[in-house]
Amino acid sequence: MAKKKIIAGSAKASRRKSRKKASAIQARRKKEFTYRGFTMEELLEMSFEDVLSIIPARARRTYVRGLNPEQQVCFDKLKSGEGVVRTHRRDIPIIPQFVGRTVAVYTGKEFKEIEIKPEMIGHFLGEFALTRKNPAHSGPGVGATRSSKFMPLK
């Protein structure tokens, strides 16, 4: 009996290989940042009024009504980009001109340094300097009732 020579791969196998190769993880490209359809370069080129038209209503209203004197001083320092700006003003909305700056925002106890990133546009400075910390509870202390002294193993 003559043995038939087996072909190295069927059409189905070659299609499977090509699908597997296509679905293999490629080197990931960094996704370009966009804010409501605008790239960072386009945002920086926009006028202040155009930027106000695309940020959320609460932040827009803060600028439309006008900043108070303390806010205005902090706003001017942030816009000029003079190193780390220390401030107690937590209620200043972030605009594209602030991106890349470092701000030390007061939490009520200390100044927390924040580097402003493009994803923060439209939010307030205070949202990134938390004023509360989560409590770290331990076991029951001295004087606890007998029922609360029982701690299950799980």
Lookup result for tokens 């700006």: 85
pLDDT tops 80 at residue 55: yes
pLDDT band at 44 (very low <50, low <70, confident <90, very high): very high
Question: Taking a C-beta distance cutoff of 8 angstroms, is the pair 85, 106 a contact?
Answer: no
Q: Give me the residue label for tokens 């020579």.
A: 5
Q: Please give the radius of gyration of the chain, using alpha carbons only, rounded to the nearest integer.
A: 29
pLDDT digits (tens, 9 = 90+) for 24-39: 766 677 788 899 999 9
Instruction: Report the alpha-carbon angle 108-100-46, nearest 5.
Output: 115
The fraction of the chain above a pLDDT of 90, given in percent, is: 61
Question: Cβ distance 99 to 117 under 8 Å?
Answer: yes
Task: State pTM to two decimals.
Answer: 0.70
- Rounded to an integer, what distance in angstroms lies between the CA atom of residue 74 and that of residue 53? 22
Task: Tell me the domains of the chain and their CATH numbers.
Answer: 34-128 (3.30.860.10)
